A and B are shown apart, each in its own frame.
Chain A
Amino acid sequence: MEPTNDQDPNYYHKVVDCQWACPAHTNVPGYIRMIAQGQFDDAYMLNRQSNVFPGILGRTCDRPCEPACRRDRVDGQPVAICRLKRVASDLKGDISDRLPAIPAEKNGKRIACIGSGPSALTVANDLLPLGYEVVMFEQFAKPGGLMRTNIPEFRLPDKVLEDETQVILDMGVDVRYNTPITSLRALLAEGFDSIFVGVGAPRGKELDVPGRHDEVESHIYIGIDWLESVAFGHVDSIGSRVLIIGVGNTAMDCCRSSRRLGGTDIKVMARRPREYFKASPWELEDAEEEGVEIIVNHAPKRFVIEDGKLVGMEFDVLEWDPGARQSTVLNTVILPCDDVILAIGQENAFPWIERDLGMEFGDWDMPVVDEVTMQSTLPGVFFGGDAAWGPKNIIWAVAHGHEAAISIHNLCSNVDLKDRPPQGMNLVSQKMGMSEWSYHNDYNPSKRQKMSHVELTKRFESLDLEVELGFSVEQTVREVQRCLNCDVETAFNAPACIECDACIDICPVQCLTITSNGDESDLRSRLSAPAANLDQDLYVSAPLPQTGRVMVKDENVCVHCGLCAERCPTAAWDMELFDLQIPYAASTNFIRIGAMSPSGANRGN
């Protein structure tokens, strides 16, 4: 293999599995160390820099970081990254003086944001410090988009949502509530320099089976519309027997909301076996803990309507082949019910975009959006969040918002949209002395801490009682130490190596080998421990001075304990902090916070 190019930020970035997996590339180990030192404001700001809504995401994120977490490969349970993010948010003080300054003198550019969800708010967050004027059009009377309408308060308290949206609005957004956009043509005519479309995927999918439209008084609801009505207080009760069709995260919110609005016998109906569910495992757990029954292998056949009234629903009971590709119908059953909520997915709808404006629409009547610039084929009109490529989750919307803001800034500065600022990195030795590092390098065998919940008897008293209590101090102290500091990299300097084997002997996970070079599959089979995880890179050094062999490191389960560097007589190994420099539109106002500092002071610049 060719020597690894560790000067490419992507190499070490990939070693930081959580940061690599996060669409917004949040510096997870960095903020976890800050929490460990009680620097909650710093931890919050480091989060906010990349993901903008730490408090909201600390409760609602889909957590792509956690399945990626190296700790999962080491002891079977990832670090509770999301929960720790919430700790930073809950314990932070006043951070208003750390927010970017907003210039009094504007740059003369006016941007329209359609919607006030996470993607549009991110665009505003990134552009306002540069002197842009941002006008935000919101169809409802409150900001937040689907974060407000689709996530129940028992998961995301109103105050948290309010705080984090208001911080951005207070930067000077000209927000127009109760102003749905009904015509893009009319908006274009208003002469904005750029338009950002962040309207989400607002249309719940319909289930057209017999009986759907035969009711006199409707007791069949579209999930996201129903959640929206609940969020705005238009709905405050439901029948005692409720069927939820679908088993995604919206279904989980629907069933748990029903439980709080009077439902006592609630069944979530799934077509396929459990391993194919779309809902996050922890949301399924929470729903079942609240007494919701999840029934698999039932496909809706018809609504049973008697005298114009919904009395039940008929299902095909299915048997699936092992891959759940083909099913056979075993028999049918009728389940009596008072209400049915359809949560089988949502889709985009752009009835307000005239099709003769020159904007190209592709498959499923979705606008064609550039994957890098977020621009539609109509120059100056950008898309982000669920509006761009259909439903994802909040953290993706934030990532889209950052990219769109860079594009808008380029557009308004007459820079090619494809000419984007590159990612950079800092690599700084963490050596503080003989066998002394600036980070806590020992492996802590603690198990993942379990979130405490409000007790079941109290939980259903009101809709806005947050179920998750957050980590206690003791839990936080344990959980932060589970992080393996994957951003403190084992950096190797081949010319200094004398091939004494000290690092290989001391490595607790046998991830180092000195051997003759070969191609990748050959090398993987010849290491101290075979490198079977092909998703994880091998580090291969330049030829070593004495024998011409190479140092090979399997990144898979390195616990970043630094013993290789401590036992290295020539300092060929060093532990270096990798700090990814992510470009944002407002890079000039880029809030840089030291990722760690034993003295408690920031390493800011």
Chain B
Amino acid sequence: MPSITKPLIPLSPLPKNELGLTIRDYEGQMSTLCAGCGHDSVTAAIVHAFWELSTPPHMIAKLSGIGCSSKTPTYFVRGAHGFNSAHGRMVPIATGAIAANRELTYIGISGDGDSLSIGLGHLMHGIRRNVKMVYVIENNGVYGLTKGQMSASADIGSRPKKGEANTLAPIDPVTMALSLGATFIARSFSGDKEQLVPIMKAAIAHNGFALIDVISPCVTFNDHEGSTKSYKFMRDHEVKEVETDFVPIRAEIRAKIPAEGAIEVTMHDGSVVSFRSVPEGYDPHDRMKVEEYIRDRQSRGEIVTGLLYVDESAKELHEMNATPTRGLSKLPYSSLCPGAAQLAAMQEDFR
């Protein structure tokens, strides 16, 4: 716990976004995580992304479950709505909130324990329903809050700080999400904001469930020799062949003409995700090829990062259910509840 709150220094001019807010307006309380925790860097990337996109803080809802990761919504966008739910139960809570008010931007922060153990069923159904939210897994391979037991994402052979090496096969959220039909799948590294911030922005713009698996080292329990989720291991094994830029909808002039072979994806809101470089034969729309590429790299002990798969054509939860474009919470009671006469008429149909 730091001795002081990050002071507000009246340096002028602090840059402002389109809403006239400085980046300091998108921060939250002081982090109480361990010094050097990868999660704090993810928090900083989220702060940057929302500030750069000029998202009004009161139009953001941040949700989480339980764990070190799930503490982090407190540390960004203090003006946003928030819900800290039960362990692994963030998705149902978020689904309910989204059903009631689709006008907010939803971001859920979870960890490998919260998402891949106790909450795995909910995560899968969130993907299946294509709930329109950003879902960040701060993945460090250990249960940090309970002092460093190996989690469901720990690789075979990865050594905990104390005790035996892991022998159980890991659950990889990226390949799992590919097989479940997820529409936006990315992997990144907390120590690389140049990659993480554009991915975060693209995820916010995505029309559906946007999964970002962020390798976020646990500096206290999983940053040692023998760990496969340490800062050092990531820097030695990360492959960044899939590089993307995010071009917001309001950017009038394209900085440069995309290079030959580059791929552009127009997002639902008109913004553009531009793939600066992809490996030969790679197509971020082709689920099979993406999975093949990732598994191939995995077999060589490499960790692929970047925005790996995106499908902007799929319908999200509200579109599938043909709900009104405004949030249900904004509808007048008379529309929301048509009354006993309508109910009686409906029931007549079932006779």
Contacts and interface: CB of A to CB of B under 8 A. Distances in A.
Interface in B179-208: 190-191, 193
Interface string A566-577: 111110000000
B35 A566 contact: yes
A501 B35 contact: no
Contacts of B299: none
Interface stretch (B2-10, B146-154, B169-177): B2-10
Contacts of A7: none
Interface residues of A, number: 31
Main secondary structure on chain B at its contact with chain A?
loop
B160 interface: no
B7 A559 contact: yes
A75 interface: yes
Contacts of B43: 505
Contacts of B37: 500, 502, 569
A502 B35 contact: yes
B36 A441 contact: no
Contacts of B7: 442-443, 508, 559, 561
Given A443-B9, A505-B43, A546 B36 contact: no
A311 interface: no
Interface string B9-37: 11100000000000000000000001111
B4 A441 contact: yes
Interface in A387-413: none
Interface in A468-523: 498-502, 504-506, 508-509
Contacts of B6: 506, 508, 563
B9 A569 contact: no
A435 B30 CA distance: 13
A55 B232 CA distance: 57
A497 to B, nearest CB: 10
A505 B235 CA distance: 19
A29 B94 CA distance: 52
Contact of A442 (B4, B35, B190, B231): B4
A450 to B, nearest CB: 19
Which has the most chain B C-beta neighbours within 10 Å: A436, A504, A506? Answer: A506
A547 interface: yes
B223 interface: yes
Contacts of A499: 191, 231, 235
Contact of A569 (B10, B11, B219, B232): B219
Nearest to B23: A510
A561 B35 contact: no
B284 interface: no
Contacts of B190: 500-501
Contacts of B40: 501-502, 505-506, 567
B3 A436 contact: yes
B35 A557 contact: no
Interface in B92-125: none
B38 A508 contact: no
A563 to B, nearest CB: 6
A74 B232 contact: no
Contacts of A75: 9-10
Contact of A568 (B9, B10, B36): B36
B166 interface: no
Given A546-B232, A559-B7, A567-B40, 15 more contacts: A74-B9, A74-B11, A442-B3, A443-B8, A443-B9, A498-B231, A500-B38, A502-B36, A502-B40, A508-B7, A559-B9, A562-B3, A563-B4, A566-B2, A568-B36
The 8 closest A-B pairs by CB, nearest first: A569-B36, A443-B7, A505-B44, A435-B3, A442-B4, A500-B36, A569-B219, A501-B41
Interface of B: 1-4, 6-11, 34-38, 40-41, 43-44, 190-191, 193, 217, 219-220, 223, 231-232, 235
9 contacts: A442-B4, A443-B8, A498-B36, A499-B235, A500-B191, A505-B40, A546-B235, A559-B9, A569-B35
